Amino acid sequence: GNAMIIDMWQEDTSPPLHAMHFGVGFGSLFAPMIARPFLGTRPEDKEAYNSTNFDNTTQINALTATSWMNVLTDVQNVTAIPTDTRVNNSNIEVPYIVIGCYGIFIGFIFLAYQYLIPKPKLQKASHAVKKSWREVISPKQCTQGQTAFGLIMLFLGFLFYSGVEAQLAVLGSYMSAIAYEDLNFTKQKAALLAATASASSIGFRFITMIISKWCPMWILIYFELLTAFAMSVCLVTVGLSDPVLYWVFTCVLLAVTSPLWPGMMAWAEPYMEVTGSVVALWGMGAGITGFGLDIISGWVFQNLGSQASMVQTCICSSFMIALIIVIKLVMLKYGEKDRDATKQKNNHA
């Protein structure tokens, strides 16, 4: 999808690319709402308190048992309550089926567009050139023959998307847990925090979708990452001292980080051919880093505490600031690509 949008829109790719990624936030916002009715019910749920007895012993009082720990203190003559006890069985497969059917439906729309919509007739090149697999994956193919520039940009893009995932490794995975354990959020309030963060990301994606038409992409990315760095510093210094501050800093940080995925591709487009292979390599960096940092972030949070997790976020933000400076210097050194040469190459390919 990214490569298709870039190939279609070329130098005007930024707004449509941001528009496509605008839909990502809706999935993360509405998926929990779709899944919630089909999840199993545990005894700490209010309905369970009013209707459930364990091993024919004293009934749990819904008015006093407000959490699982309170349940343990309000049950008399019970030696053990299985932690995996559920009042209602989970039907989690249902939301998976719903989302899967939606994906199939969208796939059929693309197939219809591909095979049923009339396409403009283009003049075929008289000498079509077939590329070998080595030419397809060669770094110089995306930078008009400049091998060094191609290698550098592929590597820097790999690091960029790795850094984006690193920024999200803590707050994206443990934001609600930190609020619940360190700031005494209730489970409902922690869930509301996560929903607010998703809504903030959607809102800022919409803003960038509009202003990217006129604002140079490097300025937009600098603003996003500098703001993310400022928010990470605030989280380290005062973020864990007040629930409201934590709420605000977290939502702002996640909001300004969310458009970085389309932003980097739109930023690189004037300087190189952002092909499907390039997008796949950069995405691989995000996947590898995301997998590794999820484990590291979990260990840091569990063994060193929330303050250390905030420091981890600040370190990642600092790395991203240094990285975008290097990327900008490399782009200035090699300059923008020759679009006329690219069009002539495509006409003969």
Q: Identify whether the C-beta of residue 39 lies closer than 8 Å to the C-beta of residue 90.
A: yes
pLDDT(119) > 70: no
* Region of poorest pLDDT, from 40-54, 58-72, 143-157, 300-314: 58-72
Mean pLDDT of 108-118: 78
Q: How far is CA 311 from CA 174, 227, 254, in A?
A: 14, 16, 16
Q: Which residues of 301-335 are buried (b: 16+ CB within 10 A; e: fewer)?
A: beeeebeebbbbbbebbeebeebbeebeeebeebe
From 29, 27, 38, 40, select the one nearest 99 (Cα to Cα). Answer: 27
- Range in 39-43, 79-83, 97-101, 160-164 with the lowest mean pLDDT: 79-83
Query: Can you give the pLDDT at residue 3?
Result: 73
Among 8-22, 71-85, 233-247, 291-305, the least confident range: 71-85
Assess contact for 131 and 242: CB atoms under 8 A.
no
Per-residue pLDDT band for 131 (boundaries 50, 70, 90) equals low
**From CA 48, how far away is CA 277, in angstroms rounded?**
52
Residue 75's pLDDT band (boundaries 50, 70, 90)?
very low
Q: Quick one: pLDDT at residue 72?
A: 36
Predicted confidence (pLDDT) at residue 337 exceeds the cutoff of 60: yes
Q: What pLDDT was estimated at residue 62?
A: 36
The pLDDT score that the predictor gives to residue 137 is 59
Using the structure block, give the residue that is written with the tokens 């936030």. 25
Give start and end residues of each alpha helix (H) in 36-185.
Answer: 46-51, 68-74, 93-115, 133-137, 147-182
Backbone angles phi, psi at 317, to 5 degrees: -65, -40
> What integer pLDDT is reported at residue 76 of this predicted model?
38
C-alpha separations of 289 from 29, 159, 286 in Å: 24, 9, 5
pTM recorded for the entire structure: 0.72
Identify the pLDDT of residue 256: 93
pLDDT of residue 222: 94
For the CA atoms of 136, 157, 272, 229, the dihedral, rounded to the nearest 10 degrees, stands at: 170
The confidence band for 297, taking pLDDT boundaries of 50, 70 and 90, is: confident
pLDDT at 40: 58
pLDDT tens for 211-264 read 988 889 899 999 999 999 999 999 999 888 888 999 999 999 999 998 998 888
According to DSSP, residue 239 is labeled: I
Residue 51's pLDDT is what? 41
Q: Which of 11-15, 136-140, 262-266 has the lowest mean pLDDT?
A: 136-140
Question: What pLDDT score was predicted for residue 49?
Answer: 40
Provide, for the chain, the percentages of residues in helix, strand and coil under a 3-state DSSP scheme, each rounded to the nearest 5: 75, 0, 25
User: Per CATH, which fold does 131-347 belong to?
Assistant: Growth Hormone; Chain: A; (1.20.1250)
Which of the pair, 125 or 143, is modelled with greater confidence? 143
> What per-residue confidence (pLDDT) applies to 325?
94
Share of the chain above pLDDT 70, in %: 72
